[in-house]
Structure 1
Amino acid sequence: MKPYLFLLIILLFAGFTHAQQLPARWDELVASDFQQALEKSSKTCILPIGILEKHGPHSPLGTDLIHVREWAAHAVKSEYAVVFPDYFYGQINEARHQPGTFALPSKVIWELLEATCDEIARNGFDKIVILNGHGGNPEFIRFFMQSLLNKRHNYAVYFYAPQNDKAFTDQYLKMHKSDPKNDQHAGEGETSTLMYYRPDLMRMDRAADQSGDNQHRLNLPNVYTPIWWYAAYPNHYAGEGAKATTELGKFTAEHEIESFVNALKAIKADTSTLKLQNEFYDKVDNLNK
């Protein structure tokens, strides 16, 4: 066999093997591969939750959704898990005055999240990892998860809540240009991350078209009111997105991917959470017997 023909056969076989790699996205799997995906993932499914809302005048409405989608996609290249398709049903009532916001009633998002988790579990997964990209979701997610103890479930839900280490924080602040205290929504940090993941979607020439400054229109010490965010940031923009850089985005993204991969490995290896959860349910069921 001629050398060049042998090389061609090797390249074709390598391409075929690459094409046959098991997809991580649920919607890209074929049904006949689903059992293999369950086994390879240790019955672990990632549920990336974003939102549809204004992100300043420069970043896409689906910034939070795109962020967690890319974050999960990069992580599962190192540590396999099945990734649930786009999920953008969270708490976003505070942005209903802005075009493009998709805000469902509280009862609906609650029931939809539980039904989604139940259906993920019905398909064989017993570990569901919530990867959240929206700042208005954590309180809702934590309350939802605590409420799962109200009745028996045959799966465990894990909410990934990263804590940055000092080395990362110190370097991040060195690279950061704007005031970190006001860098919240569509500001330098979030914009930088999207510039790294999806630069094609950014409209950076518009980033300074609106103010992202805190307007300080309420002064109620030690008092919470749901209109607080609108009072502070009526443009639904908090920070200076114009100061974002791809370098900062790359630094942030690489750190968040590595950190999530480490957490994912621990979750896949975890045998205690479900055991303790079932022990708890058993004690509840036998309380008055």
Structure 2
Amino acid sequence: MQWEALTSADFAAAVQQTGVCVLPIGVLERHSEHLPLGTDFLNAHRIACLAAEKEPAVVFPPFYFGQVYEARCFPGALTLRPTLLLELLQAVLDEIGRNGFRKIILFNGHGGNAHLLPFLAQSSLWEEKPYHLYLFQDVLNEEREKTWQATVETPLHGHACECETSITLANFPELVRMERVPPQPGEPRRRMSHLKGNYSGIWWYADYPEHYAGDARSASAEKGRALRQLLVDSLAEFIAAVKADQAVETLEKEFFSRERALREK
């Protein structure tokens, strides 16, 4: 069920029926020359909606605010001040909770959020909330990972690659410009390889200054439908597991009870 497509009465019923809201998070950024700026949030939202058809849940409207500072040098990227971004995400979660959901699933559609979203989840221990936050990270199990690898033909993936282009072809064929796929793969430049053990914010640009990682020339809608189904099935299973879960609520109650006792001494 899509939040924005429900009437107010139907929304209230959906909250009671499912108890779970899925928040797919993407960004607006360059995806080489052939994919739309909204690739990440468009695909994440579509996958979440398909998963919610299998395992009923309410899917938050398309959300395109995330960590994508590495794309600020390209037209079309949308970024927010870091502190504002965190405040916005927390405010959105609080509003989802205010609307009655007691379980919220973050579904990441953008690699650049890989540090942001775990930090957001960890921050849930700062203040007790009436809802519980789940971040879906281990997307594919071993069997599905094998199927994924058997479906794709190219070895390098990461951004606007064979798999991402294929999934976008399956979801939004009208937005893909296959005639603009670069003639050469997007190989890492390794311009920071001399700094062993280092992490710098510029690392992605150092490797992929054209925001292309992989080789999309062999992408197809057929592959995309197969890959998409793996993601849909995995997310649907996770939604079911979250619905059945009682451990997070129990543990958080215990944690905050001890935290309050410590403050009141």
- Cα displacement string for residues 133-157 of structure 1 (whole angstroms, at most 9, x for unaligned residues): 0000021111111111011111101
User: Paired residue for 2:170?
Assistant: 196
Kindly indicate whether the alpha-carbon contact (under 8 Å) linking 2:151 and 2:227 is maintained by their aligned counterparts in 1.
Answer: no
Name the amino acid aligned to 2:7. Answer: V
1:217 aligns with 2:191: yes
CA distance in 2, matches of 1:166, 1:275: 30
Map 1:51-90 onto structure 2 (within 5 A): 51-90=27-66
Question: Which of 205, 230, 239 matches 2:214?
Answer: 239
Kindly indicate whether the alpha-carbon contact (under 8 Å) linking 2:25 and 2:107 is maintained by their aligned counterparts in 1.
Answer: yes
How big is the shift at 1:34? 2.5
User: Paired residue for 1:31?
Assistant: 8
1:184 aligns with 2:158: yes
Three-state SS of the structure 1 residue aligned to 2:163 is helix
Name the amino acid aligned to 2:59. Answer: V
- Cα displacement string for residues 4-25 of structure 1 (whole angstroms, at most 9, x for unaligned residues): xxxxxxxxxxxxxxxxxxxx11
Select between 220-229 and 115-124 the one with higher mean Cα deviation.
220-229
- Cα displacement string for residues 117-170 of structure 1 (whole angstroms, at most 9, x for unaligned residues): 111111111111111100000211111111110111111010011343333333
Kindly indicate whether the alpha-carbon contact (under 8 Å) linking 1:162 and 1:259 is maintained by their aligned counterparts in 2.
Answer: no
Three-state SS of the structure 2 residue aligned to 1:159 is strand
How big is the shift at 1:229? 0.9
Stretches of structure 1 that go unaligned for 5 or more consecutive residues are 1-23
User: Paired residue for 2:205?
Assistant: 230
Identity of aligned residues (%): 38
CA distance in 2, matches of 1:171, 1:28: 34
Three-state SS of the structure 2 residue aligned to 1:136 is helix
- The two structures, once aligned, show a CA RMSD in angstroms of 1.4
1:270 aligns with 2:245: yes
- Cα displacement string for residues 177-229 of structure 1 (whole angstroms, at most 9, x for unaligned residues): 222xx311111111111111111111011012575221222221111111111
User: Paired residue for 1:100?
Assistant: 76
Kindly indicate whether the alpha-carbon contact (under 8 Å) linking 1:48 and 1:65 is maintained by their aligned counterparts in 2.
Answer: yes
How big is the shift at 1:174? 2.9
Kindly indicate whether the alpha-carbon contact (under 8 Å) linking 1:177 and 1:243 is maintained by their aligned counterparts in 2.
Answer: yes
User: Paired residue for 1:44?
Assistant: 20
How big is the shift at 1:275? 2.1
Kindly indicate whether the alpha-carbon contact (under 8 Å) linking 1:193 and 1:252 is maintained by their aligned counterparts in 2.
Answer: yes
Question: Which of 117, 121, 138 matches 1:145?
Answer: 121
Kindly indicate whether the alpha-carbon contact (under 8 Å) linking 1:94 and 1:230 is maintained by their aligned counterparts in 2.
Answer: yes
User: TM-score, normalising length from structure 2?
Assistant: 0.95
Kindly indicate whether the alpha-carbon contact (under 8 Å) linking 1:57 and 1:209 is maintained by their aligned counterparts in 2.
Answer: no
- Cα displacement string for residues 17-70 of structure 1 (whole angstroms, at most 9, x for unaligned residues): xxxxxxx111111112232111111x2111111100011100110000011111
User: TM-score, normalising length from structure 1?
Assistant: 0.87
Kindly indicate whether the alpha-carbon contact (under 8 Å) linking 1:175 and 1:248 is maintained by their aligned counterparts in 2.
Answer: yes
Aligned residues: 263
CA distance in 2, matches of 1:210, 1:235: 12
